[in-house]
Amino acid sequence: MKIKVNNLVSSLGILLDLNQKASQVNILEASSMVNYDFKKFSHHSIKSTYIAMEICNELDFDYDCKKKVYVSCMLHDIGINSSNNYYLDTKQLIHDHCEKGSKILEKFPKFSNLSNIIYYHHENYDGSGIFNISKDLIPIESQIIRLSDIIETIYYDSSSPDLRKHIIEWVKNNSGKLFSPLLSSAFLRISKRDIFWLNLDNISFHDFVFKKYTPNFDLELSLREFLDISYVFADIVDMSSSFTGEHSKNIGDLSYMISSSIGYDEEKCIKMKIAGLLHDIGKLAIPRSILNKNSSLTIEEFHIMKSHVYYTNLVLEKIEDIPDICEWASNHHEKLNGKGYPRMLTGESLSEECRILAVCDVYQALREDRPYRKGLNNDTIFKILNESCNNGFLCKNALSHLKNAL
């Protein structure tokens, strides 16, 4: 079983864009005077990557460099997440997300060589950036991301003639300061072409960044390597809410344990573990104010919260090589009696694997402390779970698999 790196990177790009839209950051970066207001960020990773790839093409950079730029630009803000979004100190946020992002990349099999590029993606050419390194000491890939990231941030939503002019002037004025003359002049050439701006304006209507700009990686991950990446994301999801502790990690462990006690083969057990680790990955698309609210949700907030499973599906579907994991993870809130969400599937369409994950999710949630109640003990939990089975919500067999495994 192999997972194509191309698909994985596209999927992570979508995830990070959803995450940034849901994050609440509004900061003014002192060294560039750029206002990063993430509420307006939409398709930030994808648009920045498009700009970055145009610059690579304009300068005829070699294939190896293009690959590095593509992946690291798509993932450049991977360090932004979690409950610690409410930074008062801009410098600290910039410093921390560079450092954290590079640490995350270090754990990625096949991508660990990009960690340095992420670390330096807010450096300025003249050395006035966050880590004060300058010129050629800044990896060229980081320099390209810096330029593309800022252009995308100033550009925002559509390229009126005035906005184009403003961006072009801005890049010109910052040549030699924020950006190298080489990169600035490449961008100034690109910016003369209408097609560049039209593509940027219409990026959400087509998949062309993925289709036309993805270098051919010829790289595949083994299931084990994908498991390592899944741990990283389980951690990010768990950290994004202040009171779910190690929910994803625990569901991963539980679903693995049940799978092996049923006697699934090792590959399938690992897949079940991954489905457990990633089942709530769509929560990264949910505004932190809702994820972290410590009183009951309003009807409208609950409505938004429920959509997390839709986003789990959207992100995992893009990976293509794991349709089974995607199905099991995305159906964890479906119920046998059709009263679940988002598809309102019924028993006939819910596989044993989906049913097991649904049981694990409720079991684990009841064990955890919540702001409005303490974690429950096993006796109380199994009473609730039995009742749930009797009322047609959860599957009796799946529940007895859980009991046996425990």
* Interaction site with Fe ion (CB under 5 A): 77, 149, 280
Give me the least distance between CB of 339 and Fe ion, in Å please.
Answer: 15
Q: Which residues face 175 on adjacent strands?
A: 179
- Using the minimum distance from each CB to Fe ion, give the nearer residue, 219 or 304: 304
Going by C-alpha positions, the residue among 112, 313, 77 that lies closest to residue 225 is 112
**Reduced 3-state DSSP string for 338-388:** CCCCCCCCCHHHCCHHHHHHHHHHHHHHHHCCECCECCCCHHHHHHHHHHH
- Using the minimum distance from each CB to Fe ion, give the nearer residue, 24 or 404: 24
C-alpha pair distances (Å), 390 with each of 282, 398, 399 = 30, 13, 11
Q: What gap in Å lies between CA 320 and CA 361, rounded to an integer?
A: 24
For residue 170, the tally of other CB atoms under 10 A from its CB is: 16
Q: Who contacts 302 (Cβ-Cβ below 8 Å, separation ≥6)?
A: none
Q: What gap in Å lies between CA 54 and CA 377, rounded to an integer?
A: 57
Give me the least distance between CB of 9 and Fe ion, in Å please.
Answer: 16
85: DSSP letter: T
Give me the least distance between CB of 308 and Fe ion, in Å please.
Answer: 6
- Using the minimum distance from each CB to Fe ion, give the nearer residue, 42 or 260: 42
Give me the least distance between CB of 280 and Fe ion, in Å please.
Answer: 5
175: DSSP letter: B
Q: What gap in Å lies between CA 152 and CA 10, rounded to an integer?
A: 18
Q: Phi and psi of 160, rounded to 5°? A: -65, 155
Give me the least distance between CB of 80 and Fe ion, in Å please.
Answer: 7
- Using the minimum distance from each CB to Fe ion, give the nearer residue, 223 or 357: 357
Q: What gap in Å lies between CA 406 and CA 400, rounded to an integer?
A: 10
Q: Who contacts 372 (Cβ-Cβ below 8 Å, separation ≥6)?
A: 294, 295, 296
User: Three-class SS of residue 219?
Assistant: coil
The answer to whether the CB of 166 falls within 8 A of the CB of 150 is no
Give me the least distance between CB of 4 and Fe ion, in Å please.
Answer: 25
Pairing of strands 26-29, 34-37: antiparallel
- Using the minimum distance from each CB to Fe ion, give the nearer residue, 280 or 334: 280
Give me the least distance between CB of 312 and Fe ion, in Å please.
Answer: 8
- Using the minimum distance from each CB to Fe ion, give the nearer residue, 3 or 311: 311
- Using the minimum distance from each CB to Fe ion, give the nearer residue, 258 or 309: 309
Q: How far apart are the first and last CA of the chain?
A: 29
- Using the minimum distance from each CB to Fe ion, give the nearer residue, 238 or 280: 280
Give me the least distance between CB of 84 and Fe ion, in Å please.
Answer: 15
- Using the minimum distance from each CB to Fe ion, give the nearer residue, 213 or 310: 310
Give me the least distance between CB of 309 and Fe ion, in Å please.
Answer: 6
